[in-house]
Amino acid sequence: MEERLKTGTTTVGIVTKEGVILATERRATMDTFIAHKITQKLFMIDKYIGMTTAGLVGDLQVLVRYLRAEAELYRLKNKVPMTVQAAATMLSNILNQSKFYPYYVSLIVGGYDSRGYHVFSLDAAGGSIEDKYVSAGSGSLFVYGVLEDSYNDQITLDDGINLAIRGISAAMKRDAASGDGIDVATITEKDGFVKLDDEEVKKRMKKLKLI
């Protein structure tokens, strides 16, 4: 089974007044076959930038390596972290330059910089759009149903985490290509990128009566 053939994902990025939440499920599929049940789709790019990935695994892994390297070079050269918009724009340029032989991906870049909290949605042709919340992957329609119903501009970080978990859970129940657990990370001015441990996610799911 070639890594480049594995597809099917649900990811989400949410801006709150206290930070950014990024979340994904863990299943990797190849058509109707579940290729892996523990797949990493949530990545720390820099201390204050994270990225979620949906699409062909080989393409995604290359793009994560590219962006991590560019963020590190930017920090070394400029003595300051790369902004979230700069990271999204750089990735957008890479995707656009390859649009005739495209990377088959749908990405979310989110994080914190001097201008606040941001999430950007990127498509395979290099389109980059900032929004308050975004979802990508085969289960994104189910996530948007939850987000549209419950998101507001004053949502707290804690409530945003629960909202992301609810959205991913809804997708896992209806999208066969999504499942096998949830990964969640927060990005805040104080702590940077912090990934929640599995027990914390499970505790929240039980409190929300999702399991």
Catalytic residue numbers read 9
β-strand partners of 182: 25
Q: b vs e for 107-139, b when ≥16 Cβ sit within 10 Å of the residue's Cβ?
A: bbbbbbbeeebbbbbbbbebebeeebbbbbbbb
- How far apart CA 49 and CA 25 sit, in angstroms, is 19
Kindly report the backbone phi and psi dihedral angles of residue 203, in degrees, each rounded to the nearest multiple of 5, phi listed first.
-65, -40
| Angle subtended at Cα 179 by Cα 61 and Cα 106, rounded to the nearest 5 degrees | 40
Which H or E run contains 200? helix 198-207
Q: Where are the beta strands (DSSP E) in 17-125?
A: 20-25, 28-30, 33-36, 42-46, 49-55, 105-113, 116-122
